[in-house]
Every structure is written in C-alpha cells, then in structure tokens.
Structure 1
Amino acid sequence: MTPELAACVLEGLLLLHEELSVDPDAPWYVGTPDQTQVLHDELWLLAGEQVISNSIDLVEAWYGAGRSALLPVQCCGELVSSRHQHAA
C-alpha cells in the first residue's frame, strides 16, 4: 500500500472512531484497543478491495459494506444516530 492510502485509512479510522463513539444508538462501541484494531483491519481490507481516493469514500464504503465485526446489526448509510438499523 502507498503512503497516501495508509494516510487515508488512518484518517478514515479517526473519522469512524469519532462518529461511532458519539452515536447514542451504538453503546457497544467505546473505542477500546481491540475494537479499534478490528476497525483498522476492516478499513485496510476495504481499501485494498476497492479504488478509494479519500477517507470519506472509505468511511462510506465501510458503512455500505454492512459487514463489520463490530456491528451487532446491519448498518445503512443514513444519519449518525440512525446508521445502525436492524436488518429487515
């Protein structure tokens, strides 16, 4: 991976950490080291699978994938407080 892609993954991790830790509907995510490592690994995998040009696209791809080990339910790409919805 290039240094630019590594920076994109790190920035995406920071964006997701900030967003998930303030989401009142996501008390399961508190940003512990284990959770942060899972999130980091998932972002690396996504960045390697798709053509990602910036961290915002990477975050959207993570939400769009809806397959995080951190998510107890499927997620959608809506507002922060409603991103994590039960799958129908």
Structure 2
Amino acid sequence: MSERNAPVSQVPTVRVLNLKSTLSFVSVTLLVDTIILSTSSFLVWSVGGYFRFSFLLFAILTALVLPPALWACVKVALLAFDAETAPENN
C-alpha cells in the first residue's frame, strides 16, 4: 500500500523541530506555567491569610494545591509541544 493511499493513522507524522518551533514551545510553556503557578501561590496566600492559618495549615493547603497545578503545567507543556511541532502548523 502506498503512503498516499494509506489510512491517516498509518501515515507517520514527522515533527518539525527547528529554532522557531522550539522557541515558540518554550515561550508558550513559560508564559502559561507562570500564570498557573502564580495564581496557585496567590490562592494559597490569600486563603491562608484570610483564615489566619498556621504554618502547618499553610503546608497542608500548599500540598493540596500544588499537585493539580504541577499537573496542569506538564499538560500545558505537552500540548504546546504537540501544537508547535505539528507539521500542519509550520
């Protein structure tokens, strides 16, 4: 079966990895991850300050907020890499 007539799932996709796509991927990831992490830290700070949490409660609140924030940062990085290195976008 020729590559032209092959189903879409069987055609290998070649990622475009050059300076422009790498710089775009890193820039988008840094921008969005900075927003996610700063919002998470402001949430912990404001809730902890409003309720006058002790150090232990601040640590517990941070432990509750940090894993979803880090998961979102990793997901943003993966999606940005997929979007910026896709051959359709270059």
Do these two structures clear the TM 0.5 threshold for a shared fold by scoring above it? no
Larger RCO (CA within 8 A; separation ≥ 6) = 2
Richer in helix (by share): 2
Superposition TM-score tier, normalisation by shorter sequence: 0.3 to 0.5
Structure-2-length-normalised TM-score: 0.36
Structure-1-length-normalised TM-score: 0.36
